[in-house]
Amino acid sequence: MSTDNGVSIESDARGFAELMNNFNKLTEMESKIEAAIENAKVPWIETRKFLKGITLSQVLNTPLAQFIQDLFKEIGLGELKLSEKGNFRYIYRVRDSPICDLFKDIPDKKVCQPTTDAITRFFAEDLGLEGEVQETRCKNIGDEYCEFKMELQPFSVLEKALDKTDFILLKELIESEAIDLSKITENLQLDEDELRTRLTFLQYYELLNEDYRLSKVGETFYRYRSDTPFEEEKYFDPPWKTMAELTSTIAATQSFAEALVVVSEGEQLPWDVDEAELVDIKERAKDKASFAELFSAEAKEDFDKEGDEEDKERNEGND
């Protein structure tokens, strides 16, 4: 069937059904992101291992790097893979983004804002690392993959990356007239390899010059950090490293509405739910081509019921 202007009603119905289906997928994805961010707190020590990786290979070999990849896949955002890194920059790529599949009819626009927001929030809320994420490439505009560049705030990184020993090492270096690594090794009770590793790390973040003297950045950070006491290490229970619990939490989050109502054990929902009625609606929905068709059927059923009740009341009045 078509309208006077030649537009197919069936085509419109299919288009609306697809629109509603995509909307439902997006809201479900948003709910899963909320659930993941809420339950994926990471211990500082693991964040530190991630940040202390100087090469891409070193970072990829940390538990946190694997956790991030597993987490975003579980949410439904695709295979998020770290492809490049710099001092305060991390570049992630997704080759087959599910987001692009939802927006394939909207060409020439970058559409992966949900992934951009999820990366930003995960780093800020679960790792304590403030930064900015930009989608630099997108399959929806013809690129080979979707790419996300994360630029972290330097002081935010340094606060998490340096532990007390690193800070004491900076103190030793800034107070020493002549750099004596053997003496520093003895004072800090470190072996030579660990000291060299720490010095290399501090140079990588440009806190030290080649002669192990503090750079201007190092001096600024040292003065800033000297006035701020070290917080106690924060440890979190799984699921950050055992995905089983987190996976079940994400999987249980089915819709945006469900995410808005968090009911703890023992509490009651603020309305009565007829489970039999919900099952009946779900069964009827299986036979409908679209949300619009189900809605129309429900509306017609309600209209018929009202008509039957009016007829019944009219007949009772006549009696």
Q: Give the tens place of pLDDT for each residue, 108-149.
A: 889 999 999 999 999 999 999 999 999 999 999 999 999 999
Ranges in the chain annotated CATH 3.30.1380? 9-156+236-260
Q: Which residues in the chain land under pLDDT 70?
A: 1-20, 238-239, 241, 244, 253-319
Helix (H, G, I), strand (E, B) or coil at 134: strand
pLDDT above 70 covers a percentage of the chain that reads 70
Q: Say what the pLDDT of residue 247 is.
A: 77
Q: Which token pair is 115?
A: 């992934």
- What's the pLDDT tens digit per position in 47-67? 999 999 999 999 999 999 999
The CATH code of domain 162-226 reads: 1.10.10.10
Contacts of 90 (CB under 8 A, 6+ apart): 82, 84, 149, 150, 152
E strand spans, the chain: 81-85, 89-94, 131-137, 146-152
Which residues lie across from 150 on neighbouring strands?
A: 90, 133
For the CA atoms of 119, 120, 125, 129, the dihedral, rounded to the nearest 10 degrees, stands at: 110
Task: Tell me the C-alpha to C-alpha distance, in Å, between residue 30 and each of 116, 250, 255.
Answer: 12, 11, 8
Q: Let me know: does 120 contact 92? Beta carbons within 8 Å.
A: no
Fold annotation for 9-156+236-260: Muramoyl-pentapeptide Carboxypeptidase; domain 2 (3.30.1380)
Ranges in the chain annotated CATH 1.10.10.10? 162-226
Which of 92, 95, 93, 97 has the alpha carbon at shortest distance from 77? Answer: 97
- Is the pTM higher than 0.85? The answer reads no
Q: Let me know: does 100 contact 15? Beta carbons within 8 Å.
A: no
d(Cα 230, Cα 175) in Å, to the nearest integer?
A: 20
DSSP for residue 252: T
